[in-house]
Structure 1
Amino acid sequence: MKSIVSMVAMICIAVSGSAQSSSETDTIKVGNFVIIKKKGSDDNSAGSVRINKDNYNLLRVERRPAKRKNLSTNWWIVDLGFANMRDNTDYGYAQAGSYFRTFRPQDGPVNENSYRLNTGKSSNVNLWFFMQKLNVSKNVLNLKYGLGLEMYNFRYDSRLSYNNSPTPYVFNDSISFTKNKLYAGYLTVPFMININTTPDKRKGFSFSAGVSAGYLIASRNKQISAERGKVKEKADFYMEPFRLAAIGEIGLGPVRLYGSYSLNKLQKDVTRLEQYPFVVGVRLSTW
């Protein structure tokens, strides 16, 4: 960029002798730089570059902010986070229903411990196909929306098993597992109000808040054990097909954090479970 500005500056100096009056001003724009050539000026303002040549023809080089876009698009955003859930289940009430089953007395009934999560291995990975930011007011107030895939892996530290025959139910299994997780994937549309406190900078401070709506497109229980090897049970397990969540995002320089909290339960009322997943993590995005 410096070489381009220098070249333009020399061209302006070469043609400066053709100026017709002492008040004539020429302006040349190169990218985000504006070169102002004014004859007879004595501009000593800070931040300018001045060159004297032939009858005091002067050049002032200014850098002006790039023109803001009213609509910008960010493709292929990735979220990496930890998943957990708030459990408000009344297990005495849930055990009286048909979703919890006990096949052997020594295995015990399904209870709160059956849903105990390994929080260090329960994860959330999101792949957003795109997100757009629409200017509402001076690029400070914006709307953010997009489309993507949310993927939850709830890793259990228990013998909880899911079955779908003839109808969905859960039970405490007779064996232990080296891996036991419930996967849920949603096709999701987020919608947020964004506040960008430094619209002229790519790495300033911003925050967003809003809601997201998702549709369940896949769910399965994956288990690994010495006795059975790798087993996958694919079904909806009476999970709610739609997910509504409160979402938020904070950006500080190159670091962006996100969070999500389900406003509706993970499972249908027939299960008598009241579990509300939530996640926090890092968002890999340019804005």
Structure 2
Amino acid sequence: MKRLILTAMLCVAASYGFAQTTTTTTTTIVDSTKTGTDTTIVTKKHIKVKLGLGHDAPYVSPYSNDSTKVQRTKAPGFSFGITFSRIDLGFATLLDHGSFTLSPNNQFLSYRQAKTANFGFDVVQFGYRFNSAFKIYVSGGFDWTNIRLRQDITIQRNAPVLTYLPDSIHFSKNRFSSSYLRIPLSFYYRSHEDSRGNYFRLVVGPEVGILLNGRVKQISEERGKQKFDDDYHFAKLRKGAFIRMGYGIMGIYAKYYFNDMFENSPAQEGLRNFSFGLTLGF
């Protein structure tokens, strides 16, 4: 997971590091004699090259009288493409019937908040832009929730309900995680640019997640590093909503899922997931 986060951040840094805009301005030369019988007009074409992540490329109006003026507007229309954006890195929190305190049935899931993380990003998107300020798009990506358990227990695979067994050894790391394919529908709004070319952004919408895998990862002196994969009764389909807001390339996000984290496990009914943190490239 650490290598994955590091790779993502390096990709973002590289994308912004090599972002550039090259402009060839329009020059008009008028050579006219006093009699006005010889007039020559030479116009150079505008060339715009935009590389980067998470920004709307500026649009230069061909009808502008000022050849050096850049209008950051976008024409309405559909778009589709591969992306690496909406990179979320934050904390995951368990809510037990709306409370941050776990009920006795869920005490075995007691976790270390500072090491319980949510990480995700989008890799493809399809949308429609109405104008420079508003667009709507559906995207697809991946989302991980990693719960760092406090107790020395092992969540059991292939159990009829979510089941654990206590261990006699101490785990330096006992992580209980899930990975989902995430499919958010985003309603995007941005304000007018300020003098520095930045603007406020607000993105809200529903999100659907399809379970890819569940995993228990443990590290101890006695057993070394161990990984166990199973669905662990994580919800096969999770439904929630999200909000992202920020200024420039950075922002904050929050996500809440309306259905329970686990299914076919009555003791965990009412246990849900809430995540919040920083988002980049949205």
Alignment map for 1:76-155 (pairs within 5 Å): 76-77=84-85, 78-88=87-97, 111-136=105-130, 138-155=131-148
Q: 1:158 to 1:143 in 2, by over 3 A?
A: same
Instruction: Verify the 8 A CA contact 1:35 1:62 in the aligned structure 2.
Output: no
> How far apart are the structure 1 equivalents of 2:156 and 2:23?
69
Which residue of structure 1 lines up, in the alignment, with residue 52 of structure 2?
none
User: Do residues 65 (structure 1) and 71 (structure 2) align?
Assistant: yes
Structure 2 stretches lacking a partner, 5+ long: 1-20, 47-59
Q: Give secondary structure in 2 for the equivalent of 1:114.
A: helix
The number of residue pairs the alignment matches comes to 240
> How far apart are the structure 2 equivalents of 1:36 and 1:146?
35
Q: Give secondary structure in 1 for the equivalent of 2:93.
A: strand
> How far apart are the structure 1 equivalents of 2:158 and 2:249?
49
Alignment map for 1:1-80 (pairs within 5 Å): 4-5=24-25, 8-9=27-28, 12-13=29-30, 15-17=31-33, 20=36, 28=43, 30-31=45-46, 32=60, 61=67, 63-70=69-76, 71=78, 75-77=83-85, 78-80=87-89
Q: Give secondary structure in 1 for the equivalent of 2:265.
A: helix
Counterpart of 2:274 (choices 268, 271, 278) is: 278
Q: 1:68 to 1:221 in 2, by over 3 A?
A: same
Which residue of structure 2 lines up, in the alignment, with residue 256 of structure 1?
251
Instruction: Verify the 8 A CA contact 1:247 1:261 in the aligned structure 2.
Output: yes
Instruction: Verify the 8 A CA contact 1:215 1:242 in the aligned structure 2.
Output: yes
| Per-residue deviation, 1:266 | 0.6
Instruction: Verify the 8 A CA contact 2:174 2:216 in the aligned structure 1.
Output: yes
> How far apart are the structure 1 equivalents of 2:213 and 2:126?
26
Instruction: Verify the 8 A CA contact 1:27 1:34 in the aligned structure 2.
Output: no
Counterpart of 2:263 (choices 259, 264, 268) is: 268
| Per-residue deviation, 1:250 | 0.3
> How far apart are the structure 2 equivalents of 1:118 and 1:28?
65
Structure 1 stretches lacking a partner, 5+ long: 38-59, 95-109
Q: 1:149 to 1:253 in 2, by over 3 A?
A: same
Q: Deviations over 1:184-210 (max 9, x none)?
A: 011111002122122799620111111
Instruction: Verify the 8 A CA contact 2:242 2:254 in the aligned structure 1.
Output: yes
| Per-residue deviation, 1:133 | 4.8
Q: 1:270 to 1:18 in 2, by over 3 A?
A: farther
Q: Percent identical across equivalent pairs?
A: 21
> How far apart are the structure 2 equivalents of 1:167 and 1:257?
38
> How far apart are the structure 2 equivalents of 1:149 and 1:280?
16
Q: 1:19 to 1:183 in 2, by over 3 A?
A: farther
User: Do residues 163 (structure 1) and 156 (structure 2) align?
Assistant: yes
Instruction: Verify the 8 A CA contact 1:28 1:35 in the aligned structure 2.
Output: no
Instruction: Verify the 8 A CA contact 1:140 1:195 in the aligned structure 2.
Output: yes
Larger Rg belongs to: 1
User: Do residues 185 (structure 1) and 185 (structure 2) align?
Assistant: no
Letter in 2 for 1:84: T
> How far apart are the structure 1 equivalents of 2:256 and 2:219?
29
> How far apart are the structure 1 equivalents of 2:142 and 2:69?
41
Q: 1:215 to 1:3 in 2, by over 3 A?
A: closer
Q: 1:256 to 1:69 in 2, by over 3 A?
A: farther
> How far apart are the structure 2 equivalents of 1:150 and 1:81?
11
> How far apart are the structure 1 equivalents of 2:271 and 2:113?
15
Letter in 1 for 2:71: P
> How far apart are the structure 2 equivalents of 1:3 and 1:139?
21
Q: Deviations over 1:32-57 (max 9, x none)?
A: 387989xxxxxxxxxxxxxxxxxxxx
Q: Give secondary structure in 2 for the equivalent of 1:272.
A: helix
Q: CA RMSD in A?
A: 3.6
TM-score normalised by length of structure 1: 0.70
